[in-house]
């Protein structure tokens, strides 16, 4: 692909030599600094430096950015920002998973703790009720012993 050179008519094109596609959309043959003017009617080639060729294109009203290193660095920065965003999301996902695991562990601990607390409360209730039963049994025994003693005293008094 070539570009028309000013002051040479429409038959003269700037042609890039040895350029590799850098993947930037809308920028062609800017990886090469070897541009030369080709007259379609003749075999003679007029060498132009890459910067001059880009400058001539800019004079012709081409809106393509002529700063290839800037375009390349912009592309690299976009790539890095996308990569950085992906890495950030990956980090955030792992943090979210870790937080979910922590919450799950806390809930399990709470469940175990609440089960243990429930068992402890049940044991306390059982012990308390056993104490109450034992107390009632002692009171009943004491009442029976007291009643026997009263009977014996009555019997002794009557004699």
The total of structural domains in the chain comes to 1
Q: Is the pLDDT of residue 4 over 50?
A: no
Confidence (pLDDT) at 77 = 82
Q: Is residue 147 one of the residues assigned to a domain?
A: no
Domain range holding 35? 2-66
Q: Is residue 31 one of the residues assigned to a domain?
A: yes
H/E run at residue 36? strand 34-39
pLDDT, tens digit, 9 for 90 and up, residues 38-55: 544 444 445 555 566 666
Q: Which residue has the higher pLDDT, 33 or 109?
A: 109
Q: Is residue 32 one of the residues assigned to a domain?
A: yes
Among residues 38, 35, 47, 46, the alpha carbon closest in space to that of 13 is found at 38
C-alpha 106, offset from chain centre: 22
Least trusted range by pLDDT, from 32-46, 89-103, 136-150? 32-46
Q: Is residue 99 one of the residues assigned to a domain?
A: no
Q: Is the pLDDT of residue 148 over 80?
A: yes
CA distance 51 to 57: 10
Q: Is residue 79 one of the residues assigned to a domain?
A: no
Q: Is residue 6 one of the residues assigned to a domain?
A: yes
Q: Is residue 50 one of the residues assigned to a domain?
A: yes
Backbone angles phi, psi at 38, to 5 degrees: -120, 125
User: pLDDT band at 129, cuts 50/70/90?
Assistant: very high
Confidence (pLDDT) at 53 = 65
Q: Is the pLDDT of residue 18 over 70?
A: no
Q: Is residue 84 one of the residues assigned to a domain?
A: no
CA distance 8 to 56: 12
């Amino acid at each position: 692909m070539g570009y028309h050179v000013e002051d040479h008519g429409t038959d003269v094109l700037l042609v890039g030599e040895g350029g590799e596609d850098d993947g930037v959309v809308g920028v062609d043959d800017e990886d090469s600094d070897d541009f030369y003017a080709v007259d379609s009617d003749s075999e003679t080639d007029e060498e132009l430096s890459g910067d001059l060729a880009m400058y001539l294109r800019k004079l012709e009203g081409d809106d393509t950015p002529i700063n290839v290193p800037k375009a390349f660095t912009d592309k690299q920065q976009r790539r890095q920002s996308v990569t950085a965003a992906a890495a950030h999301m990956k980090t955030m996902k792992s943090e979210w998973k870790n937080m979910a695991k922590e919450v799950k562990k806390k809930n399990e601990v709470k469940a175990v703790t609440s089960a243990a607390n429930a068992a402890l409360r049940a044991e306390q209730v059982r012990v308390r009720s056993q104490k109450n039963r034992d107390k009632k049994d002692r009171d009943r025994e004491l009442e029976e012993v007291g009643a026997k003693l009263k009977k014996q005293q009555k019997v002794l008094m009557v004699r």
